[in-house]
């Protein structure tokens, strides 16, 4: 009996110290983490929105309520982008869906004509080399030189993200043609983009 | 044991992947390219060194009957802290490339294996060295596997094209290809050891049969 008590106390102590350490680190890093997430979001918005966007709508992206440029529909955040004249030229939708290793977050840029400009995956925990084939963009390089460098504002290619979504109408997609070996991850991207499209539809019907 | 010996043993003599056969799950999943292997290796080395150090510091305070749950809590806390710190302070590019490997470390049994087999019985400094050495051995063998697999599957190395026009060979990109390449590696390693034993006039004994390196069984009597 005394032994059991001793074991409980020591395991409990380890857990307590561990929890305290986690709580402390969590508290200390909350602000820097939020700042880093915001910087990532700003970079992502620059990639999916057209280059002529005057002010990226994310200035106060975190505080959606205070910023009329950011609208939340069905948990999807819509960032509106305006040109220098103040005309809305595009919308970036931030949505997420469950993948193999956690939430897959996507940013979908939709132009004024209702076509998808670009889709990027802003954060994910998919298995590197397998699931990440459906989410990560990378440039083809060669040790023999050649290969073309990226133009300003151009994204590295991803056959799945580009082939399935770029330039298509922002309507929910029905087919689930994924990447072989990365079915869960492709389905997650598919679901997240569909959420974004539905939110965009709703946003448009509200605006009219 | 000398300092160098603790550090170097993980790289070849007790290599976690090729000799101890620890951490097979991440080995097979993440060795699809040299870059992935390097990222996973660096992340694991950091966590391994830290958790080995922490566990060897508290090893005398923990009763042996609840040591495994205690180690798991310590390792989980360590991994989560590393993840939060990287999210907060690491440059965005580094966080993006290394961050995806951190959740995978939780399922990496090298960390728990070294805590049990080494850190719980040795001093802080040699445990730290053991962690770094094992991490380096893991990184190197993962990169060797990853390099071979990446080259065979697409003719590339570190995402740079080496042989233009190499036919895409998807088998080696998938876990089945990882099993094949790993088996070839192990066969070469064993062949080398058997030949060496023959030259010395003895019979080769696989390390897992003579139990010399593993202390788990002897703890049961405590």
Mapped onto helix, strand or coil, the DSSP state of residue A161 is helix
In a domain, A72, yes or no: yes
pTM of the model: 0.79
Cα angle: A197, vertex A202, A204; to 5 degrees = 95
Cβ contact (<8 Å) for A18 and B174? no
Mapped onto helix, strand or coil, the DSSP state of residue B203 is coil
In angstroms, what separates the C-alpha of A51 from chain B's closest C-alpha? Answer: 22
Interface with chain A: mutation pick from B30, B37, B87, B173, highest number of A CBs within 10 Å = B87
Contact A123, A40 (CB under 8 A): yes
Instruction: Check CB contact of B27 with chain A, cutoff 8 Å.
Output: no
Q: So what's the pLDDT on residue A208? A: 66
Q: So what's the pLDDT on residue A14? A: 92
Q: Give the residue numbers spanning the domain of A171.
A: 31-207
Cβ contact (<8 Å) for B63 and A10? yes
The per-residue pLDDT of chain B, averaged, comes to 84
In this prediction, residue B92 has a pLDDT band, given cuts at 50, 70 and 90, of confident
Cβ contact (<8 Å) for A21 and B36? no
Mean pLDDT of B106-132: 89
d(CA B201, CA B186): 22
In a domain, A17, yes or no: no
**Per-residue confidence of chain A (208 residues) as pLDDT tens digits?**
788 899 999 999 999 999 999 999 999 999 998 888 888 888 888 888 877 665 555 454 444 444 457 778 888 888 888 777 777 788 888 899 998 888 999 999 888 888 898 899 988 888 887 888 888 887 777 777 665 666 666 778 888 888 888 888 888 887 767 788 788 899 999 999 999 999 888 888 887 6
Provide the ipTM: 0.72
Number of domains in chain A: 1
In a domain, A174, yes or no: yes
In a domain, A50, yes or no: yes
In a domain, A147, yes or no: yes
Query: Which residues of chain A neighbour B155 with C-beta distances below 8 Å?
Result: none
- pLDDT tens figures, B98-116: 777 887 787 688 898 898 8
Q: Which residues pair with A131 in a beta bridge?
A: none
Q: So what's the pLDDT on residue A54? A: 55
Q: Give the residue numbers spanning the domain of B105.
A: 3-219
Cβ contact (<8 Å) for B161 and A127? no
Residue tagged 């970079």 (tokens):
A43
In a domain, A121, yes or no: yes
Mean pLDDT of B140-161: 89
Task: Record the tokens describing residue B36, joined without a space.
Answer: 């992935």
Q: Where are the beta strands (DSSP E) in A51-207?
A: 70-73, 76-82, 88-98, 103-111, 116-123, 141-142
Contact B96, B102 (CB under 8 A): no
Number of domains in chain B: 1
In this prediction, residue B136 has a pLDDT band, given cuts at 50, 70 and 90, of very high
In a domain, A45, yes or no: yes
Phi, psi of A85 (to 5 degrees): -85, 0
In this prediction, residue B138 has a pLDDT band, given cuts at 50, 70 and 90, of very high
In a domain, A203, yes or no: yes
Mapped onto helix, strand or coil, the DSSP state of residue B59 is coil
Cβ contact (<8 Å) for A128 and B103? no
Q: So what's the pLDDT on residue B172? A: 87
d(CA A91, CA A82): 9
């Amino acid at each position: 009996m005394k032994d059991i008590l001793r074991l409980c106390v020591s395991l409990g102590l380890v857990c307590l110290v561990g929890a305290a350490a986690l709580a402390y680190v969590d508290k200390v890093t909350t602000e820097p983490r939020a700042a880093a997430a915001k910087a990532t979001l700003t970079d992502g918005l620059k990639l999916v929105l057209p280059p002529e966007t005057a002010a990226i709508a994310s200035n106060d992206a975190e505080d959606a309520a205070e910023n009329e440029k950011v609208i939340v529909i069905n948990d999807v955040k819509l960032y509106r982008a305006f040109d220098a004249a103040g005309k809305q030229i595009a919308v970036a939708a931030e949505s997420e869906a469950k993948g193999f290793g956690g939430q897959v977050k996507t940013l979908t840029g939709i132009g004024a004509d209702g076509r998808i400009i670009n889709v990027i995956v802003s954060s994910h925990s998919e298995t590197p080399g397998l699931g990440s084939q459906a989410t990560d963009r990378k440039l083809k390089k060669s040790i023999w030189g050649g290969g073309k460098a990226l133009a300003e504002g151009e994204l590295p290619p991803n056959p799945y993200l580009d082939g399935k979504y770029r330039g298509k109408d922002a309507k929910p997609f029905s087919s689930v043609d994924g990447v072989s070996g990365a079915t869960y991850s492709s389905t997650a991207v598919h679901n997240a983009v569909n959420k974004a499209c539905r939110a965009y539809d709703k946003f448009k019907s509200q605006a009219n | 044991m000398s300092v160098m010996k603790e550090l170097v043993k993980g790289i070849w003599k007790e290599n976690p992947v090729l000799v101890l056969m620890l951490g097979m799950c991440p080995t097979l999943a993440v060795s699809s390219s040299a870059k992935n292997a390097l990222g996973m290796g660096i992340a694991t080395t950091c966590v391994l060194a830290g958790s080995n150090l922490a566990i060897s510091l508290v090893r005398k305070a923990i009763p042996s009957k609840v040591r495994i749950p205690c180690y798991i809590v310590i390792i989980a806390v360590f991994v989560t802290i590393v993840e939060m710190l990287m999210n907060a302070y690491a440059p965005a590019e580094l966080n993006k490339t290394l961050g995806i490997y951190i959740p995978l470390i939780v399922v990496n049994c090298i960390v728990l294996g070294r805590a049990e087999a080494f850190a719980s019985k040795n001093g802080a400094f040699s445990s730290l060295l053991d962690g770094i050495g094992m991490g380096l051995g893991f990184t190197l063998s993962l990169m060797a596997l990853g390099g071979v697999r990446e080259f065979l599957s697409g003719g590339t190395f570190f995402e740079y094209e080496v042989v233009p026009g190499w036919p895409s060979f998807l088998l080696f990109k998938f876990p089945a290809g990882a099993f094949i390449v790993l088996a070839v590696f192990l066969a070469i390693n064993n062949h080398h050891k058997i030949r060496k034993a023959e030259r010395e006039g003895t019979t080769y004994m696989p390390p897992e049969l003579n139990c010399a390196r593993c202390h788990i069984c002897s703890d049961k009597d405590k």
